[in-house]
Structure 1
Amino acid sequence: MFHTWMRYFTPDPLHHRLGLVCLGVGLQHGTLPPVGPRTLDHHVAVVISAGQGWCTTPDGHRHPVTAPALLWLTPGVAHHYGADPVTGWDESFVDFTGPATETYTELGYIEPDRPLVPLTDPGPPRAAVGRIARAARRGNPLLEVETSAAVHELLVVLRRARADTDARGEPVLQALARDAFLPLSVAEHAARHGMTPAELRTAVRRGAGCSPKDYLLGIRLGRAKELLAGTELPVAAVARRVGYDDPAYFSRLFARRVGTAPVRFRDRQAHSVPGGWSTRIPDPDDPPLVSG
């Protein structure tokens, strides 16, 4: 016994120029029949939010699937999967295509080589699919544009929900962000999390679409910008706070990556951040006001 709802669309060439277009969306649950073996010419994100089942990877191996999980179906790659015939599962899916899929793949948001991805929380991805389903109502004049924007959002939500963890089960990116300002090498960061440097590089590439070095550097420079814009700390003190004992090296690195020296960056921000910098997230119902 199973229940299913789905809709499919055919966006015109103009909408494809938005980068991503939604080709279909569906919500299903129960003892669904197996899918495949088959091959498609577009991408599909299948979110399993409850239950269990199986999937067969391109190498022919059959793997158990336990919710929450994501199944990536990529163009030209055969796939075969199904819910447990006794317990079933809850599934939501989005079919999509467009030129932006290549960029999202390069950034690590779409992983052709990782068809089965564990998730930490199925709620946000399922909610994102639900927004696409609501936009897919019949007669919606903004259907193609609204669903296109929602597919972009879905890819961000899916990357955020990945369950890349270290040897202790702690989310890798969260742990790295916490330790980003410690004077540690990538190998030392890996050792702290019970991983080899290669394992750490793979986890960070999957979760952030970049190397551990670039991920840590982005966090450090982001914090340095906040300190330069919102405090009067000397550049040397800012450097130490973000993990650099050599202020000259920090200044060269900052200038190379940001495009301007720390002192010049501070001077420009002083004229564009009225009242200084705050780390408090504004209340949407009571936003801060800037007086002239």
Structure 2
Amino acid sequence: MHHPPAYRTWMRFFTPSPLHHRLGLACLGVGLQHGALPTVGPRTLDHHVAVIVDSGSGWFQGADGRRTPVTGPTLIWLTPGTPHHYGADPGTGWDESFVDFTGPATTAYTELGYIEPGRPLVPLSDTAAPRAAVGRIVRAARRGNPLLEVETGAAVHELLVSLRRARAGTGPDGDPVLHALARDAFQPLTVAEHAARHAMTPAELRTAVRRGAGCSPKDYLLGIRLGRAKELLAATDLPIAAVGRRVGYDDPAYFSRLFARRVGTAPVRFREQQRRSVPGGWSDRAPDPDHPPTIAT
């Protein structure tokens, strides 16, 4: 009597060139698997792997030697040099996709908190977006695709972003503290004053922002302020001092120095390079980023 296989598996592996590695992230492989899969490890790898358990259950054992239950949807992070051992429940199995990747950008993604070596198991709220990124890698993996390495590398960037957004506990609008900081970013408030608005100490606010955005509150606010300042410089005739005030800096000299140091060019020079005013158009006023204009075709 013929018995169907206990599991199904499909995988492809790639060998990007040194030039492709210089793009930041290089995809080394992708796989889709379902069922009572064979146990993996114990082993140690020299690259990263994101294992997305969409549904089903099993177990994971990391460097500490403890065996932890795994129930989908969950992300399993396998990081270089870290021993690991895992498997699907032989009775229920699980639905899994995996992406192997490497490259110099993994260091920055780790510092920003997108990759968490100390947290190998990350519960996910939803796997639709990560699975879509994996799907792009799968489609690019056809043999003979001349864009293979660049397409798959770009999709790894997208995968890391979608996994970060899909972390359980992150709402559809993101972290409420970050959302409130962005709302109040143009007010001339210190970090301590922002923290007080949330009934937090400055240290608690720093921890929350670093966890949510991978940077300090000061840098988070600065990114939002400078982005808006660039829009005002490019799309309006507001004086430099007025632009500075609009984004929270009452001292025009300080604003200009800060802008030049972070952007690499003075506000007046940036305006000369990026001028976008169109006589008779609506570009005399920078559009609200949350309500962009609709351009009829």
Question: Normalising TM by the smaller chain, what interval?
Answer: 0.7 to 0.9
Per-residue deviation at 1:5? 2.0
> What secondary structure is seen at the aligned counterpart in 1 of 2:142?
coil
Matches within 5 A, 1:46-65: 46-65=51-70
> What secondary structure is seen at the aligned counterpart in 2 of 1:114?
coil
Aligned to 1:8: 13
Per-residue deviation at 1:172? 4.5
Q: Is the 8 A contact 2:175 2:212 kept in 1?
A: no
**2:255 pairs with 244, 250, 254, which one?**
250
Aligned to 1:147: 152
Aligned to 1:102: 107
**2:164 pairs with 156, 159, 163, which one?**
159
Aligned to 2:209: 204
Q: Is the 8 A contact 2:236 2:277 kept in 1?
A: no
TM-score by length of 1: 0.77
Per-residue deviation at 1:18? 4.1
The amino acid of 1:80's aligned partner reads H
Structure 1: give runs of 5+ residues left out of the alignment. none
The amino acid of 2:47's aligned partner reads H
Q: Is residue 228 from structure 1 mapped to residue 229 from structure 2 by the alignment? A: no
TM-score by length of 2: 0.76
> What secondary structure is seen at the aligned counterpart in 1 of 2:76?
strand
Aligned to 2:86: 81
71-80 vs 14-23, which deviates more?
A: 14-23
Structure 2: give runs of 5+ residues left out of the alignment. 1-5
In 1, distance between residues paired with 2:84 and 2:98? 14
Aligned to 2:31: 26
**2:221 pairs with 201, 216, 222, which one?**
216
In 2, distance between residues paired with 1:176 and 1:52? 38
Matches within 5 A, 1:95-134: 95-134=100-139
Aligned to 1:35: 40
Over the matched positions of the two proteins, sequence identity in percent amounts to: 78
Q: Deviations over 1:205-245 (max 9, x none)?
A: 34433222111110011112212322344444433432334
Aligned to 1:135: 140
In 2, distance between residues paired with 1:43 and 1:282? 41
Please report the RMSD computed on the Cα atoms of aligned residues, expressed in angstroms: 3.5
The amino acid of 1:111's aligned partner reads E
In 1, distance between residues paired with 2:73 and 2:292? 30
The amino acid of 2:29's aligned partner reads G
> What secondary structure is seen at the aligned counterpart in 2 of 1:227?
helix
Q: Deviations over 1:173-227 (max 9, x none)?
A: 4443233234444345445556654454344334433222111110011112212
> Structure 1 residues 227 and 142 mapped into 2: Cα distance closer, same or farther (>3 Å)?
closer
The total of aligned residue pairs comes to: 283
> Structure 1 residues 186 and 65 mapped into 2: Cα distance closer, same or farther (>3 Å)?
farther
Q: Deviations over 1:241-287 (max 9, x none)?
A: 323344443333223323344345444433x454535456577xx78
Aligned to 1:177: 182
In 2, distance between residues paired with 1:123 and 1:172? 25
